[in-house]
Amino acid sequence: MKVHEKIRSLREAKHWSQEEMAGKLNMSVNGYSKIERGETKAYIPKLEQIAEILEVDLIELIPLDGRNIYLIGTNHGGNNNDCHIFNSEAEVVFENEKLQLMLELKDKELALQQREITLLQQKIADQQKIITFLENKPT
């Protein structure tokens, strides 16, 4: 059973509507229903909130059906909003490739900015030479 299926099942076991659950989560019904349909990924903070409302441990929401679970995240000053759960190695590989492409793009942008800085520095040096020449020009 997938995460969104477990969430729906647990909600239905409590005889709550999606509207009630969305209200408890302080989110729109449309946003919550997308989580239950699996159209939107729920990240760790939202899963923690859902687990608390449903009175279950977070681990109960995560499928442990023989597949490996990959939790990848960064901790920026205690903020774990960057944590992502991947259910397969293929998802991890895809995410890694996407991040590699993003890094390559950033590297190219940085190289272009450095080139622009070098050209501007050369332009400044040329203008300083012109100023010096004009200042030393006999009148």
**What is the tens place of the pLDDT at every residue in 62-118?**
766 555 555 555 554 554 455 566 666 777 778 888 889 999 999 999 999 999 999
Parent domain of 80: 3-87
Q: How deeply is 1 buried, as exposed, middle or buried, from its count of CB atoms within 10 A (0-12, 13-18, 19+)? A: exposed
- Has this prediction a pTM greater than 0.75? no
Please give the mean pLDDT across all residues of the chain: 84
Eight-state DSSP code of residue 85:
E
Here the CATH number for the domain that contains residue 26 is 1.10.260.40
Q: In terms of pLDDT, which residue wins out, 116 or 44?
A: 116
User: Residue 43 — pLDDT band, cuts 50, 70, 90?
Assistant: confident
92 domain-assigned: no
Whether residue 58 is found in the same domain as residue 125: no
| Residue found by looking up tokens 């409302």 in the block | 53
Residue type, 134: L
Q: In terms of pLDDT, which residue wins out, 24 or 75?
A: 24
Whether residue 81 is found in the same domain as residue 14: yes
User: Residue 41 — pLDDT band, cuts 50, 70, 90?
Assistant: confident
61 domain-assigned: yes
95 domain-assigned: no
63 domain-assigned: yes
66 domain-assigned: yes
How far is Cα of residue 47 from the mean position of the Cα atoms in its chain? 15
75-92 residues labelled b (16+ CB within 10 A) or e (exposed) = eeeeeeeeebbbbeeeee
51 domain-assigned: yes
Whether residue 60 is found in the same domain as residue 12: yes
